[in-house]
Amino acid sequence: MKDDVMDMYIEAGRIASEIREKGAGEIRVGASYLWVVEKIEGWVQDAGAGLAFPLNVSLNEDAAHDTASRDDERVFSDGDVVKLDLGVHLDGYIADTAVTVDLGDHPLLLEASARGLDAAISIVAPGVSVGELGSAIHGEIESRGFRPIANLTGHGLDRYRIHTPPNIPNIRQNGGAVLEEGMVFAIEPFASTGTGHVSEKHRTEIFQQLAVKPVRLPSARRVLEEMRPRKGLPFSRRWLSGEKLDLALSTLARSQVIRAYPVLSDVPGSLVSQAEHTLIVTGEGCLVTTA
C-alpha cells in the first residue's frame, strides 16, 4: 500500500473514531432520533470528510441498516440497546466503525461483541484465515451466553467500495480466505439474545446505486442525478429532496439500478449489540484505524 493511501485511511479512521465517541454521548433517554442522526452526520461534514454511508442507528432487535427518516418522531427510551454505526471517507478511503450504547442494563451483552472484536483483532496477521477470526469471535460471545449473528459479517473495504471480499464471519468456521499484508477490512461482531439470525424488515431507508442504466421516470432520474456524487456509496431517503420518492426508489430498485438495504432484525423482543473497527493488515499484525 502506498504511503499516501495509508495516510488517508488513518486520517479517515481518526475522524471516525472521534465522532463515534462524541456521538455515543448524544444518545440519551428522551433525545430525538432524527436530531441525533443529523447532528452526528453534520460533524462528519464539518471535519471535511464524507459519509461512507448514512449514519446507522439501530435499536434493540434491529441489528443494522436503520437510520432516521425525514419525519422520524422516535426518541430514545429507557432500556434501549442502540447500535451507532458510522462510515467516514476521505477521497473514497473508508473508515467503518460501530459502538453500542446501553440505555438499559445489559453490560454483558455489550461486553460480548466488544471482546469478540478485541479477540479477533489480537490475532490478525498475514497468513491467518478468516475462519480463525470467526472462531475467536464466536468463543467470546458464546462464553457469555449469547449468540453471534451468523448471517452478518465483517468485510473488505476498497476505494468508494464498502463491501469487498473477504467476508469476516462472526461464527466458527474452518479456513476461508487467508489474510495478506495491505488488506483493509472491517470486523464487526454482533451478539444477540435472540436466534443469531437476522431477517429483513419492511422498513427501508438506505439505498445504493448498482448500475448505470437509462431511466425514463423523471423522479427516478432526479434521484440518480442527486446521488451521482456518491460514486456508488450508499445514501439515505432522508438526503433526497425531490417529490414522489417512493415511486422513484421502488422503480429504480425493481430495474436493479439501485439496491435497497432493509432494516435487518433478530426476533422481536431480542437485543443485539455490535462493535466494529476498520484495520489494515501489516507485516507483523495490524493497524486499527478507528481505535
Q: Which is nearer to Mn ion, 57 or 240 (CB)?
A: 57
Q: Does residue 66 belong to the site contacting Mn ion (CB under 5 A)?
A: no
CA atoms within 13 A on the CB side of 83: 32
Nearest partner of 240 among 262, 220, 260, 257, judged by Cα: 220
Cα dihedral sign, 197-200-202-208: positive
Beta carbon nearer to Mn ion, 189 or 194: 189
Which stretch in 97-105, 121-129, 167-175, 203-211 sits in contact with Mn ion by CB under 5 A? 97-105
Cβ closest to Mn ion, residue 222 vs residue 277? 277
Nearer to Mn ion, 219 or 289 (CB): 289
Decide: is 96 part of the binding site for Mn ion (CB under 5 A).
yes
Which residues, including other chains, have CB under 8 Å from residue 75's CB and lie 6 or more apart? 30, 31, 32, 33
Helix (H) or strand (E) holding 19: helix 3-24
Residue 17-56 contact track with Mn ion, rule CB under 5 A, x = bound: ----------------------------------------
Q: What amino acid positions are annotated as catalytic residues?
A: 85, 96, 155, 163, 188, 276
CB of 218 to Mn ion, least distance (A): 34
Minimum distance from CB of 154 to Mn ion (Å)? 6
What kind and span of H or E run contains 208?
strand 199-209
C-alpha separations of 282 from 95, 105, 124, 126, 178 in Å: 17, 38, 9, 7, 14
C-alpha cell at 154: 465483517
Check binding of 186 to Mn ion (CB under 5 A).
yes
By CB under 5 A, what part of segment 270-289 binds Mn ion? 276
Task: With CB under 5 A as the rule, give the number of residues binding Mn ion.
Answer: 6
Closest separation in Å from C-beta 246 to Mn ion? 26
Give residues 188-247 in contact with Mn ion (rule: CB under 5 A).
188
Largest Cα separation within the chain, whole Å, is 55
Cell representation of residue 147: 449468540
Q: Toward Mn ion, which CB reaches closer, 131 or 154?
A: 154
How far, in Å, CA of 235 to CA of 37, rounded? Answer: 14
Residues 61, 85, 132, 266: which binds Mn ion (CB under 5 A)?
85
**Using CB under 5 A as the criterion, which residues of the chain lie in contact with Mn ion when the complex forms?**
85, 96, 98, 186, 188, 276
